[in-house]
């Protein structure tokens, strides 16, 4: 007997791992000092939490410890990267390149730098959700300061060719930023091998706490950026504000666990999702998978149910916690702009559900979810070709 509702929305957020909570607890109780108080033990203890977490985050992506700057999350890191870089380089190299399927915060930050006088190119994607590398190479010019491409898409789970993108950026003399909120700790990322200059990271996507993230920024004059908050100059002057040692310790612990368990977790999730797909497609052969079936994160299944309304389907599967799109765009009505970008019709986009599996998903839950979905679809009259 499975306990409901079953959580299958791991792209929206992840439940905190108890081992992460254990790492956080001392900084919520006895080690309560301000990490920026440098004259006594309470401050030193709190500062040590930041130092350890910086090492743990850097270790996942092969960066230097001093290249990690803690933020409130990936949204802040994305804004800091795009606005901060373009503010410095906007007059000399006033061009930014990004992708139409980026997270809302990247697209909104891009609009902001446009209003400030910069030029932005929004690259389309192919029907499988991946960018065309030839189009990227053509778009990047001597005036391009920054290219921003999401590593793993938050809606359809596709993995962009990071090393190839990084090579193009390096050859063309542009900086490469990636929103890695859905990729960090899940797939192999190496900032040097992939020529990544800036990377945004989120704590709550990797079984850590909400309200904390990080920006990796490669050391060097070229990656100089303008801070977006004025204050006491914490985080090397990049991000002012008193850091929360408990949240940062949680991010660090979550990162370390992800690195240690990455390979086995990927294999387990691939088997779980294959189990779900096999059951669904056997009963509902007209299902339509959104996004490339090979170059994708194994914990994501975005699928359209032809002829059905996704919101109505959701209303009939209350025992399952899944979504009809990205949590960040839940306040926006209408079909997903990501699904529209890969060529889905409005009807196909509106019939889509995003199913995300993760560390705590069990086989029994998958079986229950498949039976529930198939039963709901059939009760609604079945799929239409």
Q: How far apart, in Å, are the Cα atoms of 36 and each of 43, 44, 49, 235?
A: 6, 8, 12, 10
Residues 77 and 83: their CA atoms lie apart, in Å, by 10
Phi, psi for residue 289 in degrees, rounded to 5: -80, 135
- Indicate the SS3 state at residue 44: helix
Residue 24: partners with Cβ closer than 8 Å, 6 or more residues away: 209, 246, 247, 249, 250, 253
Q: Do 300 and 161 form a contact (C-beta atoms < 8 A)?
A: no
Q: How far apart are CA 133 and CA 125, in angstroms?
A: 10
d(CA 194, CA 101): 21
Q: How many CB atoms are closer than 10 A to CB 334? A: 11
State the catalytic residue, choosing from 118, 169, 258, 328.
328
Could you check whether the bond before residue 5 is cis, i.e. omega within 30 degrees of 0?
yes
Per the CB < 8 A criterion, the answer to whether 250 and 16 are in contact is yes
Q: Confirm whether 328 is a catalytic residue.
A: yes
What is the 8-class DSSP label of residue 158?
B
Which two tokens mark 167? 């090579």
* C-alpha span between 358 and 93 (Å, rounded): 41
Residue position matching structure tokens 């992840």: 14
Residues linked to residue 202 through DSSP beta bridges, in sequence order = 213
> Which residues are paired to 98 by β-bridges?
122
Which positions are catalytic?
328
């Amino acid at each position: 007997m499975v306990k409901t509702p079953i959580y299958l929305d791991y792209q929206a957020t992840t439940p905190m791992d108890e081992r992460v909570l254990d790492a956080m607890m001392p900084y919520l109780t006895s080690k309560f000092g301000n990490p920026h108080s440098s004259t006594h033990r309470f401050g030193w203890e709190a500062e040590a939490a930041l130092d350890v977490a910086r090492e743990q985050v850097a270790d996942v992506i092969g960066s230097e410890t001093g290249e990690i700057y803690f933020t409130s999350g990936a949204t802040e890191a994305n804004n800091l990267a795009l606005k901060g870089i373009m503010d410095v380089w906007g007059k000399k190299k006033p061009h930014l390149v990004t992708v139409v399927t980026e997270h809302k915060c990247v697209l909104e930050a891009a609009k902001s730098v446009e209003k400030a006088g910069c030029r932005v190119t929004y690259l389309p994607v192919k029907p499988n959700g991946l960018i065309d590398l030839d189009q990227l190479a053509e778009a990047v010019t001597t005036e391009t300061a920054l290219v921003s491409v999401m590593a793993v898409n938050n809606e359809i789970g596709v993995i962009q060719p990071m090393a190839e993108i990084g090579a193009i950026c390096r050859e063309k003399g542009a900086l490469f930023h990636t929103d890695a909120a859905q990729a960090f700790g899940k797939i192999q990322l190496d900032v040097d091998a992939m020529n990544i200059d800036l990377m945004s990271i989120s704590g709550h996507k990797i079984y850590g706490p909400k309200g904390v993230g990080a920006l990796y920024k490669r050391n060097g004059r070229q990656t100089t950026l303008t801070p977006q908050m004025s204050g006491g100059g914490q985080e090397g002057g990049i991000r002012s504000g008193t850091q929360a040692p408990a949240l940062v310790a949680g991010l660090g612990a979550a990162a370390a666990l992800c690195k240690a368990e990455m390979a086995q977790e990927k294999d387990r999730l691939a088997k779980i999702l294959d189990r779900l797909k096999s059951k669904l497609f056997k009963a509902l052969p007209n299902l339509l998978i959104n996004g490339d079936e090979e170059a994708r994160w194994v914990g994501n299944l975005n699928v359209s149910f032809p002829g059905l309304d996704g919101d109505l389907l959701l209303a009939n599967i209350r025992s399952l916690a899944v979504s009809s799109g990205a949590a960040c765009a839940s306040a926006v009505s209408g079909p997903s702009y990501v699904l529209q970008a890969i060529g889905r019709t409005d009807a196909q986009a509106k019939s889509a559900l995003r199913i995300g599996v993760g560390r705590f998903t069990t086989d029994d839950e998958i079986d229950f979810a498949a039976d529930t979905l198939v039963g709901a679809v059939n009760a609604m009259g079945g799929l239409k070709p």
